[in-house]
Amino acid sequence: MNISGHILIIDDEAALRQTLARVLQQAGFEVTTAENGEQGLDFLKTTDFDMLFMDLRMPGLNGLETLKLIHISHPFLPVVLFTAQPDLNSAVEALRNGATDYLLKPLKPQAIIERAQTILTNQKKENRKREITLQIEALQSELKNLETNTSDQAGLIPQATTNADRFLKRGQLVLDLHKRCLVINEKTVNLPPTSFDYLVVLARHAPNVVNYQTLVVEAQGYQADGREAQELTKWHIHQLRQAIEKETHNPSYLINVRGTGYRLVAD
């Protein structure tokens, strides 16, 4: 896969920073490194980056604080956080503040490359989809104007997609795959991008159980070992429960099958 892009790495550990840079450069990416959050923010003021890897725990401006500032000025920049100390609350807070993903140390070189390739591929697709959507809206507007002046043109506006292609419905839950949002009882719920992907996977398999590793592969596009897959899935399910469950400690939609995975119960 020939995917390129300019990646910023922010980490106070010089050895890890240099290792990540070397791994990503050998995979064909352009890489810039920063030793702390302040330096990383300075680079973002003068340089365009396609994605960012950042340590969660750093002296001075930590990862969460840096993430919040980045998300204000660069809301569409994918940010992947990593840490040696898994913390569910920190992970949820990171996702809530715009992080794309959350990985555990020790970082595996191949996993880092795959995440970068997957995220940048998805980013390119999302950018193209936004361009196409704007083009379609412009064409539909032009056609509508033509209709008002030519009555016999009624009914000729082409539909870009069918509802079946766009919407995934499970009971009261309706997932809009184009706008990438969830609708529950006609109320729109915006979800973090990766968590939305997890919900799509669960909805497509519902009501069957989806194991942890399958969820990671289908939602995030890379292979993870059992422990890492379970931790990643747990964070995203927690985020989803916060958004859609009335009682997060007594969920009715997102059901845990202990030691195996999760299933969506919506019908």
Are 198 and 219 a contacting pair, CB within 8 Å? yes
Check residue 14 and give its pLDDT: 94
What does the pLDDT average to over 174-184?
A: 91
Question: pLDDT per residue over 66-79, tens digit each?
Answer: 998 998 888 888 99
Query: Per-residue confidence at 199, pLDDT binned at 50, 70, 90?
Result: very high
| More confidently predicted of 76 and 156 | 76
More confident residue, 143 or 254: 254
Whether the Cβ atoms of residue 14 and residue 40 lie closer than 8 Å to each other: no
> Within a 13 Å sphere around the CA of 69, how many CA atoms are in the beta-carbon half?
14
185, 201, 205: which is closest to 240 by C-alpha?
A: 201
Residue 29's SS3 state is coil
- pLDDT band, very low/low/confident/very high, at 157 (cuts 50, 70, 90): very low
Structure tokens at 86: 């898994």
Q: Among residues 26, 28, 68, 32, which one has the least CA distance to residue 47? A: 32
Which of the listed ranges 68-82, 96-110, 202-216, 229-243 does the model predict with the highest average pLDDT?
A: 202-216
Q: Which CATH class is domain 6-122?
A: alpha beta
Task: Choose the CATH number for 162-264 among 2.40.160.150, 3.40.920.10, 3.40.50.300, 1.10.10.10.
Answer: 1.10.10.10
**All structural domains of the chain with their residue ranges:** 6-122, 162-264
Stretch 248-259: mean pLDDT: 89
Q: How far apart are CA 46 and CA 9, in angstroms?
A: 15
Mean of all residue pLDDT scores within the chain: 84
pLDDT tens readout for residues 44-94: 999 999 999 999 889 889 888 999 899 888 888 899 988 877 666 677 777
Is the pLDDT confidence value at 128 over 80?
no
